[in-house]
Amino acid sequence: MTDPVLSVQGLTVEIPGRRGILRPVDDVSFDIAAGEILGVVGESGAGKSMTGNAVIGLLDPPARISAGQVMLKGEPIHTTKGDAIRRIRGKRMGMIFQDPLTSLNPLLTIGDQLTETILQHLDVSEPEARRRAMTALDDVGIPAVEDRIDSYPHQFSGGMRQRVVIALALCAEPEVVIADEPTTALDVSVQAQVLALLKRLCREKGLAVMLITHDMGVIAETADRVAVMYAGRMAELGPVRDVVTVAHHPYTAGLMASTPDASRGEARLRQIPGSMPRLGNLPAGCPFHPRCDRVGEKCRHDPRPDLSVDGGRAACWFPLTEKAET
Ligand SMILES: Nc1ncnc2c1ncn2[C@@H]1O[C@H](COP(=O)(O)OP(=O)(O)OP(=O)(O)O)[C@@H](O)[C@H]1O
């Protein structure tokens, strides 16, 4: 891989609670290169959003980064606070959330919101900012931009609003984009269009994109590499085409099996039995072991192995490429 734009190493987030310290993100590491989409996938509560929020400096106290580092083009940003992190967030890292209405101000036209953001982060004149706002809207496929730029968010459909949010995240020309369930609130057909747009912009603008989703289908369609998370830790990391062909971690295989393949007309899902353990009540050994059909004695007692950089792709004692313990 060329030098990564975003490098996350050993990232750990802690939340002090009445019954002790919770670790919603535990020793998570990944890199994202320019023009690459890393998909982060897992069920609800896996720690995906918390990872994204930690990377972009948006953790709500008392949650805090307790270990590890976040490097943006080799520069550590995990200790950056206040105005400095706000500047990085607007200018160098953009964020796209699930609900476009949380990112848009209902009282301002989309043109004013874009122009304001551009003026805040780029050293350009007001007419130039307005021109760039138009280009940004054009880039995300808003038709008849000249007629729509002075419209308010509620005058757009859900899909078009999410395009505006993408324009807003990209208008200050960031290097990294974190998209947290960007299409979950949209109809399936609109979802595909918005994901295709994100992919095109990632390639054209050389963005490093972290795409957070619970949907393996979205990953298969959109991402280049995938990080599978379970109970705050990384279960598997690898190129999407390898992972969807042969999952190494039983949890990844379970996620794949519960994703319907529309091309084969599949509708019924085979859900993974059981549910993700609560953070304050993690089982001993591998946290996935109570749900795992390959569980061996080791899994009940020994912490799961680390992901090894070369060799093992999954944090599992008995990955699917090896014979299960009998
Ligand atoms: N303030 C908090 N105090 C205690 N636990 C928290 C707090 N905020 C989040 N958590 C827990 O942290 C874990 C990770 O949450 P996170 O939102 O990152 O999961 P996620 O994978 O993004 O799931 P979802 O898709 O539902 O958003 C969850 O178990 C959640 O209950």
What is the model's pTM? 0.93
Please tell me the distance between residue 178's alpha carbon and the centre of ligand 1 in angstroms: 17
- Residue pLDDT, tens place only, 232-288: 999 999 999 999 988 999 999 999 998 876 555 555 567 889 999 999 889 999 999
Does a structural domain hold residue 196? no
E strands, the chain, are 6-17, 20-32, 36-41, 64-72, 75-76, 93-96, 176-180, 208-213, 225-230, 233-239
Query: Total domain count for the chain?
Result: 1
Residue indicated by tokens 């993100």: 25
Does a structural domain hold residue 149? no
Mutate to test the pocket of ligand 1, among 15, 228, 233 (most ligand atoms within 8 A of CB): 15
Does a structural domain hold residue 46? yes
Please tell me the predicted confidence (pLDDT) of residue 268.
57
Please tell me the distance between residue 121's alpha carbon and the centre of ligand 1 in angstroms: 31
Q: Is the pLDDT of residue 222 over 50?
A: yes
Does a structural domain hold residue 321? yes
pLDDT confidence band for 310 (50 / 70 / 90): very low
Task: Tell me the CB-side half-sphere exposure of residue 149, using CA atoms within 13 A.
Answer: 17
Does a structural domain hold residue 108? no
Which CATH number belongs to the domain containing residue 283 in this structure?
Answer: 3.40.50.300
Does a structural domain hold residue 304? yes
48 lines ligand 1 (CB under 6 A): yes
Please tell me the distance between residue 50's alpha carbon and the centre of ligand 1 in angstroms: 6
Find the domain containing 213 and state its range: 1-84+207-326
Does a structural domain hold residue 122? no
Does a structural domain hold residue 243? yes
Mutate to test the pocket of ligand 1, among 25, 28, 41, 49 (most ligand atoms within 8 A of CB): 49
23 lines ligand 1 (CB under 6 A): no
178 lines ligand 1 (CB under 6 A): no
- ipTM higher than threshold 0.85: yes
pLDDT confidence band for 299 (50 / 70 / 90): very high
